[in-house]
Structure 1
Amino acid sequence: MNLVRRTSTAVLVAGALVAFLGSSPARADDSLYEVFGEKAGLVKITDDFVADLLADPRTSPYFDGVSIKRLKEKLVEQFCVLTGGPCEYTGRTMKRSHEGLNINRAAFNALVEDLQKAMDKNDVPFRSQNKLLAKLAPMYRDIEERN
Structure 2
Amino acid sequence: MNAILSRISKIAISLFLLSSLSAHAQSGNDTLYQSLGGKTGISTFVNSFVAIVLEDARINKAFKETDTERLASLLTEQFCELSGGPCKYSGRSMEDVHKDMQVTNAHFNALAEDLQIAMEKHEVPPSVQNKLIAKLAPMQRPIVTK
TM-score normalised to the size of structure 1?
A: 0.79
Would you say how many aligned residue pairs link Structure 1 and Structure 2? 119
Q: Secondary structure at the match of 2:90?
A: coil
Look up the match of 1:124. 124
Q: What's 2:35 paired with?
A: 35
Q: Match for 2:52: what amino acid?
A: D
**1: CA distance, partners of 2:97 / 2:73:** 14
Summarize deviations over 1:108-140 as a string: whole Å, max 9, x none: 100000000001011111111111111100101
Greater share of helix residues, 1 or 2? 2
Pairwise CA distance, 1:42 = 0.7
Q: What root-mean-square deviation, in Å, do the aligned CA atoms of Structure 1 and Structure 2 show?
A: 1.0
Cα distance, 1:77 vs structure 2: 0.3
Q: Which runs of 5+ in 1 are unaligned?
A: 1-27
Q: CA deviation at 1:64?
A: 1.8
Query: SS of 1:138's equivalent?
Result: helix
Q: Identify which of structures 1 and 2 has the higher relative contact order when contacts are C-alpha pairs closer than 8 Å and 6+ apart.
A: 1
- Alpha-carbon distance, 1:82 to partner: 0.9
Paired with 2:55 and 2:113, the residues of 1 have a C-alpha distance of 13
Q: Partner letter of residue 73 of structure 1?
A: S
Per-residue CA shift, 1:25-64, capped at 9, x if unaligned?
xxx7111111111111011110000000000001101102
What is the percent sequence identity of the aligned residues? 47
Gaps of 5+ in 2: 1-27
Structure 1 residue runs of 4+, over 3 Å off? none
Q: Calculate the TM-score normalised by the size of structure 2.
A: 0.79
Based on CA coordinates, which of the two structures has the bigger radius of gyration? Answer: 2
Q: Is 1:77 paired with 2:70? A: no
Q: Partners in 1 of 2:62 and 2:35 — Cα distance?
A: 30
